[in-house]
Structure 1
Amino acid sequence: MSSHLLDIRNLQTNFYTRAGVVRAVNGISLTVDKGEVLGLVGESGSGKSVTGFSIMGLVDPPGRVAGGSIKFKDKELLTQTDAEWRDFRGNHVAMIFQDPMMTLNPVLRIDTQMIEAIRAHERVSKAEAMRRSVEALGMVGIPSPEERIKSYPHQFSGGMRQRVAIATGLLNNPDLIIADEPTTALDVTIQGQILSEMQKLCRKTDMALIWITHDLTVIAGLAQRVAVMYAGMIIEQGPVQDVLDNPLHPYTEGLIGSVPGRNRRGQKLYQIPGTTPSLIDLPPGCPFRMRCPRATDVCLEVPPVTTYAEGREVCCFHPGEYQSQPTTERSS
């Protein structure tokens, strides 16, 4: 029996197109514990959003989960029936999208949508559903929630709409929320407010959170652990401060080096050379090989996943130096 809330092993999600098979998620493994905040980081096209959709069972044709295992509270999700998936979504795990209008219906009032989200999973009175909806809006910082709940989505600003989407995800007290870059389109002030609210909610409810983003500065202040994705693979993961202070994979090192900072004033920002490989025609061996300053002939082979005692994992033949010796090594 696993002690983890979410346990993903060798997950593979492909998209079958006329041009070829797009290996969007290529054999990733990760875990999330109760109350933990995990940051899932990577460039556009790295597979991080598809990972979230795979967990939710929302991969549409021509895509499908081609292999691996996703267990939630020790129950295998990939063998669920449609009815079980409907109960699972919203009730046990909720997803917050980058665009809140993917959650909100523009022609229905907020109260109608939130009450329906509760009563789809529970037999409660309309008055009780309304009370819980108002409470959820208050939790995410909506002022005068008793009045604003009667508004339509277009009557809210972008930041407030995103708060409503977060509140909708919280309605059924899920064990896990997957947030897919929900603050990317917002200004930094509103972004900071929403991140602060999410931290408070996780501490208050012991809810787990997967925060999907390309922004390492967001993860630095929010998450306990981080997993870095590249070309459909997790190439490094571990405690967030440990990874940021001492990156082992050259790609992680490049990502951190490209972030502006006060201690780099006047310096030219680092740019990772080259472009990400096509997920239809991945190069043999390490997918980062063509862009890597440490690459050698051995990188033509698929690198193993090396594990260290402190919970660090890296998928690289030439990782950076670490204070302890690796404890295990497995094929990726």
Structure 2
Amino acid sequence: MTRPLILPAVLALATSVYGQCGSGTPDATVTGEDGSYAATVGSDEVYSGADYYAAITTALDGISSGQRLSVIASGSIGTGIISIDSGIIFEGCGTIDVEYNAGHGAIESLNTEGAQIPYLTLTGSPYFGMRFYGVTGLSLGEITMNLSDGLGIRFERDEAANADVLMDIISVTGAGSHAVETWNIDGLTINQVIARDVGECGLLLQTTTNAQVGTVDGDNVATGTGYATFRMANTNGLLPDGSYTTNVFVENVISRGGGRGIFCVSESGGVEIGNIDLADNGNNAILIENCYGVSILGGTVDGGGDVRLAARDEFENNRDISISLEVSGTSVVESPCGENISWDISGDAALNVC
């Protein structure tokens, strides 16, 4: 299949449309500093006081679809939830500190169309930093989370499905769980996911189809676990017609240390990875387990765990796998033998393949 390009224009999200965070004339702003905040909508001051969360929610209540709120001030919302409605443009120009609220995101957009978050910086230990479901045309721009626990971005499993989601640069440090976890998205475009010192996955795709991802870059991700810098699970890439025709395209996967580098499992596939750069992974550098239609076109594996094809009895065995890599300082293993498996391995790897 001809590989579609991730066009720069597609990834020129609201960050380029609106310039720098807070630039121009936002429809609403939150300004001030700890203990003294003001919310303005148009020319009217709608809140003045010490409550940062109240300032934000009051400003949001004062705007409608197509309008922009720029939160210039920094502060803490505690366990509060910032809800972004359809068509709202929410810019977090300051640093928003958040606390744990079980089952919820500090920032949520649920059952909406065309919500945009061009900029956001979060700190703290949320349950989820951002939580979504039932969204169409969601646009996330430059999202930075410097966390002390929690999960970065979560698209819910058991709620309404999502379509046409765009993400520019997602940078997550210190999450106890995943940096980005998706469920039920048809049409996903991501420029970069950058994960540092994250407890579980950098990018985890589940029941997600028609996806284009630029770079997944993980350092010390999933240490001591079975997770990976880039993981596909739970029939990811399975199309409605039951096929695994290639529909998930990933430009680059970079992984240093941590747990696994790349992990495909539980009847996932339909994926092409252009280039990988994996080194010193503490678990398998690559594990492909009960997956169908997986191509890795090139790149290197340097040390760490092995490159392995494996299978569980409860699912059909691997099939239609093609891997072209330079592998050194570790081994390449295929057990059991899959169906229509193609290996093109250079480097000093020990080979035990069918």
* TM-score, normalising length: structure 2: 0.29
Ranked by relative contact order (alpha carbons within 8 Å, sequence separation 6 or more), the top structure is 1
Higher strand share: 2
Higher helix share: 1
* TM-score, normalising length: structure 1: 0.31
